[in-house]
Amino acid sequence: MTALLEVDGVAAPPRANGELVFAEPWESRAFGMAVTLAEAGLFTWDEFRDSLVARVAAWEADHAPGEEYRYYRCWLAALEDRVVAAGALDAVAVAERSARLAERPAGHDHADGDDHGHGHGHGH
């Protein structure tokens, strides 16, 4: 599937030296979910790419002055669009799950690879 990723244009993911670049752990998970769901047949890669291009265009047309462009925010919005369009979840469920995830404390993703001894039970 990654062979179908664009290397140029608005749908092309960020790269450094030809390798995909993720600024935060959630970005790589959103990337993996989109690839996995496309491979599973929930939507086609072309459908996802079209949703991504539409989300980038919407951001370009409507972003707040000074707002930083974040490719994977558009990616995640496109993924949510495809999941809803496929009927896997409705828009309310997506919004609720997104809100719950956004409420998680900073550092929950273990960006430094250490759980700081909190022992929260998901087996590292």
pLDDT (mean) for 97-123: 57
Instruction: Annotate 81-102 with three-state secondary structure.
Output: HHHHHCCCCCHHHHHHHHHHHH
For tokens 């291009």, the residue is 53
Q: What is the pLDDT of residue 9?
A: 81
Two tokens at 80? 């949510």
Say how far apart CA 93 and CA 107 lie, in whole Å.
Answer: 25
List, for residues 29-83, the tens digit of each pLDDT value. Answer: 999 999 999 999 999 999 999 999 999 999 999 999 999 999 999 999 999 999 9
Q: How far apart are the first and last CA of the chain?
A: 29
Give the confidence band of 88 by pLDDT, cuts at 50, 70, 90.
confident
